[in-house]
Amino acid sequence: MHTNPSLLTIAGSDSGGGAGIQADLKTFSMLGGFGSSVLTALTAQNTTAVKGIHPVPPEFVSLQLSTVLTDLTIRAAKTGMLFSESIIKAVSAGLLKRSFPLVVDPVCVAQSGARLLEESAVLAMQRDLFPMADLITPNIPEAELFTGMRIASAEDICAVAERLLSFG
């Protein structure tokens, strides 16, 4: 049995180690947490490119999530790359009865420019996951994508933030 707070990351695997599950678990450990994970996708990537994405079947995402939640007392969770509408639905359904804070990082594009969220999943993220979040952490391109607004000034940031809050 561990004594550090249990933290959960629900995200894709970055074979290059710089993002995704690998980065989250390193961060949790550095902050004194015990990290657990639910894999949503496997990627073949390095620091310059994403060469391939293999999504985990939504049923298996659900199984991972329910298995972790029935054994560990999760103190907080975060999402990362969820990739598809069906994976987002599996994750949101699995988190409906959670009793811990949820941070949603709506990962859409890799540093290299590769798309990490299917176009059809954008609405599912807004509809199914944003309302459950205690905090969302979009970067500027993600905030623009989810709101349909352009950020060019400080005033735009406030307007985009208001629009994001309107999702729940």
Express each pLDDT in 51-63 by its tens digit.
999 999 999 999 9
Indicate whether 131 pLDDT > 70: yes
Percent of the chain whose pLDDT exceeds 70:
99
How many Å apart are CA 62 and CA 7, to the nearest integer?
Answer: 17
Q: What is the pLDDT of residue 49?
A: 86
**Residue 2 pLDDT greater than 70, yes or no:** no
pLDDT digits (tens, 9 = 90+) for 14-46: 988 888 999 999 999 999 999 999 999 999 988
Handedness of CA 47, 137, 90, 70 (dihedral sign): positive
pTM, entire model: 0.93
pLDDT band at residue 1 using 50, 70 and 90 as cut-offs: low
CA-CA-CA-CA dihedral for 159, 107, 136, 36, to nearest 10: 180
Assess whether pLDDT exceeds 80 at residue 154: yes
pLDDT of amino acid 130: 96
Tens-digit pLDDT profile for residues 96-123: 999 999 999 998 877 777 788 888 899 9
Read off the tokens for 1: 């049995």
